[in-house]
Chains A and B, each alone.
Chain A
Amino acid sequence: MTASHFALLVDANVDVQYRCPVYKRFTAAGAPSSLERMAELYGMDSLHVVVNGARYDLEGVDSRTTLLDLIRERLHLTGSKKGCDHGQCGACTVLVNGRRINACLSLALTHDGDAITTIEGLAGGDTLHPVEAAFLEHDGFQCGYCTPGQICSAAGMLDEARQGQPSYVTDDADHVELTDAEIRERMSGNLCRCGAYVNIVAAIRDAARPAHGS
């Protein structure tokens, strides 16, 4: 990285600002000059997101970038993992405006203005999120690769249950009770190749208790 490229990464006017060196080179060369033309040719655009409470004003975001790749490769928050990259394993699960989604299947540019929480942002300072604490307490992992997705997914799922959202195994939607069957059904979008499911379910059951409710 050259000094001029590095200078582009720092801008005192905003919290954090990144600029794509390629994008800058084209605009500096004169023609093609207009931003619209650049976006038209290269599918790049600006993007404003809040991730874990920090605002990012990004420019030159390639339209092909997924939210997962943006978080990992551009913002260097590598807690969210790329497992299958097809929405089948859940390792990439993050919360967008409080709702859990698969970041690997979501184009970054669709998230302009959104507030995103990754595994790095769940804890409040040194105080672990109840789901994080419960995973430690119950050994809810072995290799740990699926864990950030499991924990973000569980945090989102507990909110869904508190809001009274039913699942396929819910008998009485007016009184959602997080039995083991409910937890397993609601967490089926997160796979664990180590097979730590028994302890994952125990951790989530523990975190779901009212004492841990946030």
Chain B
Amino acid sequence: MKPFVYERARDAAQAVAALVADPDAVFLGGGTNLVDHMRLGVASPDRVVDVTRLPFDRIEQLADGRVCIGANVRNSELAAHRLIRTRYPMLSQALLAGASGQLRNMATTAGNLMQRTRCVYFQNVTTPCNKRQPGSGCSAIGGYTRYHAILGASEHCIAVHPSDMAVAMSALDARVVVLGPSGERRIPLVDFHRLPGDEPERDTVLRHGELITAVELPALPVAAHSLYRKVRDRRSFAFALVSVAAALDVRGGTIADVRIAFGGVAHKPWRATRAEEILRGTDATPEQFERAADTELAAARSQPGNAFKVKMLRNTLVAALQELAGAA
């Protein structure tokens, strides 16, 4: 590991200033991904600013019904919190579907959003990777693609975002609260992560020095009837092949409201807006669920190693919606 200066942030403004003053400085959260990357040589910061002692460790319900999740709330605490379990079950389930008990005790809300792809070529410094070394090429295209994207990829990168939590937050219309050198701004979670395009090295729209302080969830009544369904190569402690976060409100057989997002299939949590549009106001039937899935997946472009994902995702979405409709 390359030598670096370790610094514990005293307050948020000082943390931001520390990064602004040093282009090679990074924030440290739970460390579960960053420390590993520093050891692998994927990341080599010269300054590490530890923000885990900053007082962003609470989950609060605001007067207007929003829920504010502090950036330092650990994944295990967030998953177990009664407000999250009852009002946003898909978020609790997504968190519990990710990583292991130990890692969930370490990982923070902000760090979960900022984790990087587990593409094997990104994590192996001996192989070309446009995300790790812009312009060097993509080893995944034509290589091992079982865990790679089928939606929104580019000729430069077919990596996927690994988070489960962020998929649920995308479906929930969460907003990321960010403190930067010129003050605070709020970024809709659906716009927080990027598609790779010709800049796959940029995972998010965050600028250097911007610090996540919280994630806000809207009141969103439909979320109380929601779930997260994850398909993986082994039953526990594995990244998604595909996953679906879905919320459904059916009244008299008609879909009053619906939220859908996919994980494991794109460079960002994939909000299935086309499927949602088709479903709103229609009958809650398997035929409509299949039509919505097919419409959303019409844009899917698979690789030789992951063509199975298109049908797997279609079936997973249909099954998730049927489960929600059946239990309505």
Contact = CB atoms under 8 A, between A and B. Distances in A.
Contact of B105 (A39, A45, A101, A187): A101
A85 interface: yes
Contacts of A167: 96, 101
A102 B102 contact: yes
A55 interface: no
B102 A107 contact: no
A164 B4 contact: no
Contacts of B80: 163-166, 173
B5 interface: yes
Nearest to B238: A188
Contacts of A170: 96
Interface stretch (A86-94, A124-132, A139-147, A202-210): A86-94
Contacts of B36: 86-87, 105
Interface string A37-68: 00110110100000000000000001110100
Interface stretch (A9-17, A23-31, A72-80, A153-161): A153-161
B237 A168 contact: no
A185 interface: yes
Interface stretch (B27-35, B215-223, B258-266): B27-35
A126 B307 CA distance: 58
B103 interface: yes
B308 interface: no
B145 interface: no
Nearest to A62: B3
Contacts of B32: 87, 102, 105
Contact of A110 (B1, B52, B79, B96): B52
Given A86-B36, A107-B31, A102 B5 contact: no
A173 B8 CA distance: 36
Contacts of B38: 64
A156 B236 CA distance: 18
Nearest to A44: B6
Contacts of A90: 100, 102
Nearest to A186: B101
A188 B5 CA distance: 34
Nearest to B1: A64
A165 B101 CA distance: 11
Interface string B46-59: 00101010000000
Contact of B28 (A110, A157, A164): A110
A81 interface: no
A186 B235 CA distance: 12
B101 A107 contact: no
A5 interface: no
A87 B32 CA distance: 7
A166 B3 CA distance: 39
Contacts of A168: 93, 96-97, 236
Contact of B6 (A45, A85, A190): A45
Contact of B106 (A63, A66, A101): A101
A121 interface: no
B202 to A, nearest CB: 25
A184 interface: yes
B39 A85 contact: yes
B76 interface: yes
A90 to B, nearest CB: 6
Nearest to B29: A110
B92 interface: yes
A109 interface: yes
15 contacts: A42-B3, A43-B3, A43-B4, A64-B3, A64-B4, A100-B105, A101-B105, A102-B32, A105-B31, A105-B106, A153-B102, A156-B102, A166-B96, A167-B101, A168-B96
Please give me the 3 A-B residue pairs with the lowest Cβ-Cβ distance, nearest first: A189-B100, A188-B236, A63-B6
